[in-house]
Structure 1
Amino acid sequence: MVPSLLACTATASGQDRAELGDQAKTLDAVVVTARLDRVPAFEVPASITTVEIEGRSGFNLGLPKQLGRVAGVSARDRQNFAQDMQLSIRGFGARATFGVRGIRLYADGIPATMPDGQGQVSHFSLLGGGSIEVLRGPFSALHGNSSGGVVQWRSAEPTPEPELLVQSSIGRDDYHALGARLRGTTGSNGYNIAVQGFETQGYRDHSAARRTQLHGKVGFDLGAGGTLDVVASRLDAPNALDPLGLTRAQVSEDPTQATAAAHAFNTRKSVMHQQMGVLHTLALGPGTLRTTTSAGERQVEQVLAVPVAAQANPLSAGGVIALADRFSGMDARWSWQGTLAGRAAEMTLGISVERQRQHRRGFENFDGATLGVRGALRRDERGQVLAVDQYAQAWWHVASKWSILLGARHSTVRFQASDQYVTAANPDDSGRVRYSQTTPVAGLVYAPGENLRLYLSAGRGFETPTFNELGYRADGGAGLALDLRPAVSHNLEVGGKWRHASGARIEAALFRTDTSDEVAVASNVGGRSTYRNVGASRRAGVELMLDVPVSQRWTLQGTYTGLDARFRTAFPICAAAGCQQPGVLVAAGTRIPGVARQQLQASAQWRSGAWWATIEGSAVGEVSVNDQGDERAPGYALANLAAGWRSRLANQRVDTFVRIENLLDRAHIGSVIVNEGNRRYYEPGAGRGIQIGVRWTWDAPPSP
């Protein structure tokens, strides 16, 4: 077996906070997602949470558990590495059956979301990471298309002296992980290089996978020329097996099984992703100019379980997807900080240009009687997306207890497709479409006391269809689905934030989002999915967050999300595979699938000297799995337990941990595949499992 590298660290415990010291305060002051340089998150009229992933308490926690601790965020582990995790924020992105959509993603300021709105988090390196910042609510719209929320991953800061870290862990299902990170400072230049990955046989049958990742960031101090950061990442994930979803009956029979079709077609997915970005910061006149330039490519080959008979349809795109994306972008923004009428103010003006070139081919997933191989060509299409945005933002401490934040963004997104597979029975699907939208936002903050902030914010956002959704018309005709309109959302949020010198924090928010022209599946025919606008929807709810250091040894944390997400207008759908004419009516008031009405997470962390321990609990309400709402995944509650110990010797540290997942061995559905055409909606979560790990850290002695 090839050694693989650990992609997981942990949210900082109470002990880690003490060690981080001033770093934790700095994280609060840098509001990356709100595009503010000097305004702390505490002063911003928005829900912003920073998760610190530099810590020692069970350093093999994956991204779903990291993000699952943020109120308003649903991060579901599919137990399927052939698919990205299922990520949604306040209900946005819940219907994505693969990847992440409806949410804007960044890694060190470099977009991880394509211009068409489809994103991936699989290349986020938690070993190389320092924090993850999550923005919810109206001000997400300042990031443009598909910004129902914003997730910003950031590298760990370089250490003053060289630091070498090596860590490894093992667990159930033949899980092996290994990782190494080197960071430090040479002169005035800092660096952070991490290599990591893992391999596993998987909790379910036919779910083995392995990944390797490389992340590097080097920062240069150019003196009068400003600062320059170079960031590069690479992900290699070959032949991750896909067990597919299960029906309710199959889950009851054996939740670890794979479907017969998964074995018959050897369903699997290979991904290669590499990306590089350059970030330059320069003092220019009375302000600061920041430019970000990036480029990358992502190659995917996926073998699906499309039946051979279905591919007899001349419109079928086959059962093997071969996708190559090349993408690039530039963002330039000028920020000014000063005073206006004698009070602190900050202003930002910017422009963003992103381009995506896509080559999508489809092949039959059989060759004669042999299944699960690349066969005859059935689709060959080249596409391009160009997104050009302009944005402005201004913050002003308008009075002693009042501040305002205003902003607007104008976005233009152009899609173009050229069909190079045209036959007498498969007409030309070429076409182009242009979308344009202006998204204003505004927020007001009131400070009745030093430790309390109350705020109100409102704004408009939008989400265009992705390349996949534009690919085919719902009426079966040739060309792009040019009748699809972008979904437009009107967002409102009211909230409060409280903090104390002891480190205690409490935050609460009420929110409502009304969306027109929601996009949903119209039909599934011959391996092709088509989409249509289905009318209005509403997502309304409450978020609560509590973080209280009870004593020097104990810290309590907890989040609660209540979310009511429903379609507000009735619409017809296709309710079975192969259906072409919608015949089932979804009633107004039906719940939006993929969204839990309630989520609760709580943890108690203890530390004493070299020892630490954490007990965690989480509960998730039932989840509707399809538009008609006739099936639901039941809710569940889980508990986890972890403990560890640190040994110090001169300039070396050794951290060890043991972690028990699903302590009570509860059966549960970890995630769902929304609107799966064969009613195989369910991806079971894993039972009880133990993981153990060790981390060795060497710090170079301070320079004389």
Structure 2
Amino acid sequence: MNVASHQPAIARRVLVVAIATSLSAASPAWAETPETADKVDLDTISVTASRIERTTREVPAAIAVVDEKRIEQAQMMNVKDAIQGTPGVLIDSKNGGYDVRLVIRGAGQKANYGVREIMVIRDGVPMTDPDSFSRFDYIDTQDIERIEISKGPGNLYSSGAAGGTLQIISKSVFDATNRVKLGLGTEGAESYHVRYGADINDSNAFSVTASRRVMDNDWRHWNKFDTNQVSFKHGLMLDGGGLWESELSYSKADIQLPGSLDKALFDEYKRTGEVDDTQDPWKHSGRYSKIWFFNSRFEQSWGDLTFKPRVYFNHWEHYHPVTGAINDNPGTNVLGTDLELNWNHHFIGDSTLVGGVTFRRDDTRDSAKYKYADVTTGFGGRITSTLSDRPGDLMQTEDTLNTLYGFYLQESVQPAERWLVDAGFRFDRSEFDIHTDQIWVYDYGSSTYVYDPLVYDTKKSFNLFSPRLGVTYRLSDTLNLFASLAQADQIPADSELKKNSALDASTARNLEVGIKGRADNWTFDLSVYQTKVSDEIVSVLDTGGDTTFQNAGETDKKGLEFSGRLRLGKRWWAGLGYAYSDYKFEEFSEVISGFTFDRSGNQLPFTPRHQYNLSLEYDHPSGFKARVQADSWSEYYVDNANSDTYKGFDFVTNLMLGYEKGPHALVFTIDNLFDDHYATEVKKSTYFAMGSWQEKYYYYPASPRTAMLTYKYTF
């Protein structure tokens, strides 16, 4: 089932080249040689991989940093706008809102909603629950300074994240740049942002930000999102060089989640770029949340010692209609702390010891599930469609307590001038205590609600051990070699434990080698890795689209990643990104409808063997700038059985044109320039029902072409 794009790939290649050529012809700067180019610093600082500020070339791990310049040139309705095209990172959104599907090196693909197996951090505070579930409704995408992506296990920030860590760093309260941004676009897109900050006195500073993002997305039914966010930050410079920063923010994030399409509906979308229905009965899924977020950090040095304590609290509530039930959570309280201490000393050369303890408690009381009140039914009372998201009878109540506590330690030494060695580990203990008072359940086989009163408790604990050894060797002034050996344990989510209480934590062990190059006119990162995962938690689509979870015996993930930029003239940069992924089940017995199938030797689904992107950037002293990027994914399997494939997509192209003069800046962006109609994800389920084996496909269409014009005034 290779579904071809509506436009030939060769035509897109020609058009991409034509755009690049026409841009280059617009300025004689193309003819200038690299020797005449202004020297720039092509390396950036990262703190995510090791909790120590380092240039990326010194980090003994695969890491990507999206800087402020790249962020300012994107629509930033979604974090996808900034990080798409990063090799080894698969990200897309069903509606352009904060709802994203994020997969790093195969980790995260089991999530039907949100992000799993990847630690998401904002300013050092985990946005990921102790059970590995991450949300992006907290994030004001207009208040981001940079994004750091550390790939693979073994991160000091991450308590059990097999895929890696994504840290979003917001603008500092001490940033003196104030601004107003207004954006309008197609599909009813609106973006408003204002930031004002000032010094109270020589020691105190504050800033206030407010943002609103809206998109109607009329190309699909039930596909709107609307977010409003306000933040207050305060900073205090203490005597002796100390620093104390705090933030209090509020977010209200409403998003409609459209369902999947069958082949007929997907064909309609490919023809017209619009679709007004979904094959799923649950036509009113969504998530409507309110979040209060508080974060306070302190930093003080005494000679060679630096103390960095942090405390955070957030309260979130949501109304979340999903398949078969409406979740109504009146409030989860999250309290956490991270107490970090750095010691600069001499041990086999200049050394830094980083250590700390961490604690987090997520407490949810009186969370409830309800039936859908308004539905249509067919033969045997089967629910065929929802008519609204109004709650009906109570299905269950639940109290959940997730507790995580641990400690971390890392010694970084420089045994010789060219060598840098990181050796450390993190240990965490995660505890689940779930009390459920069940009245009704939704039965996927009969598509009806079944009376099944039951009271049960789920209590489970996991010990998570994440050691890491990394080595960097400076081969020359422009080249660094690195190697790393790391491990991370990955716990199941509480929702997965409810489906299968026998689930074990998985363990990912990663071996990686690579080379990084930084020069005035070029930069590149190349890495090769192998990740062995034992007891990987795999999602299985069963009867009626019911997602269950099982432990695979072992998976083997081999890959290569390359990203590079090359100066072509004084004002031009060309970029290339490529990832090769060979992810295979070595041992896996999949149970479907009570039958067991051997999937050993099969490829993991939703894993394109090849992922690549091309980009071209131009920046002129007059203030004009341009950027074009084209992304491609090769075909991938749509199920664990490897029974079918989806073609992927070729050269989906985004264009940015900008102009900046003094305090004024205009940015015009077009995403999906050639209006490709393709799927962000395709899944297939095969299950036994009504005396025979049934097949069902699930298509999730990508957004068609969108455009936005943004004006920014800086003061």
Q: TM-score with structure 1 length normalisation? A: 0.85
1:60 to 66, 75, 80: 75
Q: In the superposition, relative to structure 1, how do residues 254 and 695 fare at CA in structure 2: closer, same or farther (>3 Å)?
A: same
Match runs of 1:578-589 below 5 Å:
579=593, 581=594, 583=595, 585-589=597-601
Q: Distance in 2 between matches of 1:622 and 1:333?
A: 44
Give secondary structure in 2 for the equivalent of 1:97. Answer: coil
Whether contact under 8 Å (1:104, 1:149) holds in the other structure is: yes
Q: Distance in 1 between matches of 2:545 and 2:518?
A: 53
Q: Which residue of 1 aligns with 2:461?
A: 434
Q: Which residue of 1 aligns with 2:702?
A: 685
TM-superposed CA distance for 1:116, in Å, is 1.4
Q: Does 1:375 align with 2:392?
A: yes
Q: Which residue of 1 aligns with 2:10?
A: none
Whether contact under 8 Å (2:74, 2:656) holds in the other structure is: no
Q: Distance in 1 between matches of 2:397 and 2:246?
A: 35
Match runs of 1:479-628 below 5 Å:
481=501, 483-500=502-519, 502=520, 504-521=522-539, 529-574=547-592, 579=593, 581=594, 583=595, 585-608=597-620, 609-628=622-641
Deviations 1:391-438 (A, max 9, x none): 100111112322211011111111111123469933222121111132
Alignment-mate amino acid for residue 237 of structure 1: A
Deviations 1:205-250 (A, max 9, x none): 2212211122343221121382111023332123x32221112332
Listed as ranges, the gaps of 5+ residues in structure 1 are: 1-14, 16-20, 307-317, 474-480, 699-704
Whether contact under 8 Å (2:288, 2:318) holds in the other structure is: yes
TM-superposed CA distance for 1:554, in Å, is 0.6
Match runs of 1:173-572 below 5 Å:
173-186=187-200, 187-202=202-217, 203-224=219-240, 226-238=242-254, 240-254=255-269, 256-260=274-278, 265-284=283-302, 286-306=304-324, 318-320=325-327, 322=329, 324-341=331-348, 343-359=349-365, 360-366=367-373, 372-421=389-438, 425-473=452-500, 481=501, 483-500=502-519, 502=520, 504-521=522-539, 529-572=547-590
TM-superposed CA distance for 1:494, in Å, is 0.3
Alignment-mate amino acid for residue 407 of structure 2: Q
Q: Distance in 1 between matches of 2:472 and 2:545?
A: 50
Q: In the superposition, relative to structure 1, how do residues 566 and 234 fare at CA in structure 2: closer, same or farther (>3 Å)?
A: farther
Q: Does 1:635 align with 2:635?
A: no
Q: In the superposition, relative to structure 1, how do residues 449 and 266 fare at CA in structure 2: closer, same or farther (>3 Å)?
A: closer
Q: TM-score with structure 2 length normalisation? A: 0.84
TM-superposed CA distance for 1:600, in Å, is 1.0
Q: Distance in 2 between matches of 1:459 and 1:218?
A: 37
Whether contact under 8 Å (2:438, 2:452) holds in the other structure is: no
Give secondary structure in 2 for the equivalent of 1:400. Answer: coil
TM-superposed CA distance for 1:196, in Å, is 1.3
Q: Which residue of 2 aligns with 1:94?
A: 109
Whether contact under 8 Å (2:259, 2:278) holds in the other structure is: no
Q: Distance in 2 between matches of 1:33 and 1:104?
A: 12
Q: Does 1:49 align with 2:67?
A: no
Q: Distance in 2 between matches of 1:72 and 1:602?
A: 15
Whether contact under 8 Å (1:158, 1:185) holds in the other structure is: no
Whether contact under 8 Å (2:260, 2:280) holds in the other structure is: no
Alignment-mate amino acid for residue 144 of structure 1: S
Whether contact under 8 Å (2:671, 2:706) holds in the other structure is: yes
Q: In the superposition, relative to structure 1, how do residues 279 and 117 fare at CA in structure 2: closer, same or farther (>3 Å)?
A: same
TM-superposed CA distance for 1:386, in Å, is 0.9
Whether contact under 8 Å (2:259, 2:282) holds in the other structure is: no
Give secondary structure in 2 for the equivalent of 1:375. Answer: strand
Q: Distance in 2 between matches of 1:265 and 1:438?
A: 42
Listed as ranges, the gaps of 5+ residues in structure 2 are: 1-28, 30-37, 377-386, 441-450, 688-694
Q: Distance in 2 between matches of 1:437 and 1:683?
A: 34
Alignment-mate amino acid for residue 628 of structure 2: I
Whether contact under 8 Å (2:262, 2:698) holds in the other structure is: yes
Q: Which residue of 1 aligns with 2:5?
A: none
Across the aligned residues of Structure 1 and Structure 2, the Cα RMSD in angstroms comes to: 2.8
Q: Does 1:644 align with 2:663?
A: no
Whether contact under 8 Å (1:594, 1:674) holds in the other structure is: no
1:169 to 174, 177, 183: 183
Give secondary structure in 2 for the equivalent of 1:468. Answer: helix
Q: Distance in 1 between matches of 2:696 and 2:62?
A: 36
